[in-house]
Amino acid sequence: MFLGDPEQDLPRDTVVEVFRRVDPDGRRAGGIFRATFDQLYDGQHTGRFRWEQLYKTEKTHYGTLLEINLRREFDDIIDDGKLLDYSINGYDVDCKYSQQMGGWMVPPECFEQLLLVATADDERGVWSLGVVRATETSRRTSKNRDGKTSLNPRGRGQIDWIHFEASLPPNVLLGLDSITLQHVVTPRSGQARVAELLRRVTQKRIGRNTIATLAKQDDYMARVRDNGNGARTTLRREGYLIPGGDYEAHRDVARQLGVVVPEPGEVVSCRVVPADQTDTWTTQLAGRYWRLAAPDEESNEPAPKLPDVRKSKPIDTDLASEPQ
């Protein structure tokens, strides 16, 4: 049982309120969980995108990376602790991560202290973050050789959840069916793999890390650009538009077509056909109107070029908003 009715604890309740105030929808924290997974996968150099592909030692490192990444992202509310990892609103808090819900280990120095407990599951696409005090009545009586223990059922019910099983920014490759994934990863070149992804995965946000995992090279976003060889050039011949989230002009194209709007650091692929001015959800490019193609509708004309943004200022972005 993880959703209980926690007893009042002013320091714990204060820490929870501070987090909720600066991250009410969980966007910042969710982005950090996503970024930490991606940091461990290191897809640009390894091609990995699943938890099962990590070495055991890498898996155990997730908690350390999460602690560091949360500290950096939430430096507006987190300071270095005196005795524990963090100081939040003047209260010392220790950061604990477990891949398994409820599996947090509590060392003796954390007894009676506040714990920021975290867990995430990339396969299920969820993450949770809460605060609990490791009181004697909330801890198991058994201990290991190092004197560590864990929360008992009562203790797990005392967690005040900041966010519970919130949606993790998507891991695009992990969400593909086996047939589509096989088509995407089979081509020998990074350029061909990126193009195949954008051909088969449409109207979905695709982040830089996904492109990097498939391209496996330093200048991985060159595989997308309209540069003569990138996917925007080659797939335009097949009727595909690939607006990005770094520029408002591209985001406007996505809005006008009625597709999901890419965030900074993302792209969205969509197949278009010429439209009438009276059609709904149209965008005007190259002097003509365009709309999304129906699933069974052929694209008999190349897609138009996207607005030229070479002299535009990109939208500010950060690590937390970028999905895999």
Is residue 207 included in any domain, yes or no?
Answer: yes
Phi and psi, residue 144, nearest 5°:
-90, -175
Is residue 199 included in any domain, yes or no?
Answer: yes
Say if residue 34 is in the same domain as residue 155.
yes
> pTM above the 0.95 mark?
no
* Parent domain of 293: 178-310
Which domain-ending residue is among 113, 148, 167?
A: 167
What confidence tens digit (pLDDT) does each residue in 213-265 have? 999 998 999 999 988 889 999 999 999 999 999 999 999 999 999 999 998 88
Q: State how far the Cα of 212 lies from the Cα of 217, in Å rounded to an integer.
A: 7
- 322 has a pLDDT exceeding 60: no
Is residue 304 included in any domain, yes or no?
Answer: yes
Say if residue 153 is in the same domain as residue 251.
no
Q: How confident is the model at residue 1 (pLDDT cuts 50, 70, 90)?
A: very low
Strand 149-150 vs strand 160-167: parallel, antiparallel, or unpaired?
unpaired
Which domain-ending residue is among 106, 136, 167?
A: 167
Is residue 246 included in any domain, yes or no?
Answer: yes
Is residue 320 included in any domain, yes or no?
Answer: no
Per-residue confidence (pLDDT) for residue 320, from 0 to 100:
36
Say if residue 288 is in the same domain as residue 221.
yes
Say if residue 16 is in the same domain as residue 120.
yes
Say if residue 23 is in the same domain as residue 123.
yes
32 close to 320: Cβ distance less than 8 angstroms: yes
Say if residue 213 is in the same domain as residue 283.
yes
Q: State how far the Cα of 274 lies from the Cα of 233, in Å rounded to an integer.
A: 18
Q: What's the whole-number mean pLDDT along residues 292-307? A: 94
Q: How many CA atoms lie within 13 A of 261 on its CB side?
A: 12
Per-residue confidence (pLDDT) for residue 321, from 0 to 100:
39
Domains held by the chain: number: 2
Q: What is the CATH number of the domain that holds 131?
A: 3.40.600.10
Is residue 55 included in any domain, yes or no?
Answer: yes
Is residue 4 included in any domain, yes or no?
Answer: no
Say if residue 132 is in the same domain as residue 278.
no
Per the structure block, which two tokens stand in for 91?
Answer: 């209260």
Q: State how far the Cα of 80 lies from the Cα of 115, in Å rounded to an integer.
A: 14
Say if residue 139 is in the same domain as residue 21.
yes
Say if residue 18 is in the same domain as residue 87.
yes
Per the structure block, which two tokens stand in for 190?
Answer: 């990074």
Say if residue 157 is in the same domain as residue 77.
yes
Q: State how far the Cα of 226 lies from the Cα of 219, in Å rounded to an integer.
A: 14
**Integer angstrom CA distances of residue 261 from 98, 271, 291, 306, 319:** 33, 15, 15, 15, 18
Say if residue 153 is in the same domain as residue 190.
no
What confidence tens digit (pLDDT) does each residue in 251-281 have? 999 999 999 999 888 999 999 999 999 999 9
Is residue 131 included in any domain, yes or no?
Answer: yes
Which domain-ending residue is among 167, 190, 209?
A: 167
What confidence tens digit (pLDDT) does each residue in 111-139 have? 999 999 999 999 999 999 999 999 999 99
Say if residue 280 is in the same domain as residue 135.
no
Phi and psi, residue 110, nearest 5°:
-100, 0
Q: What is the CATH number of the domain that holds 191?
A: 1.10.10.10
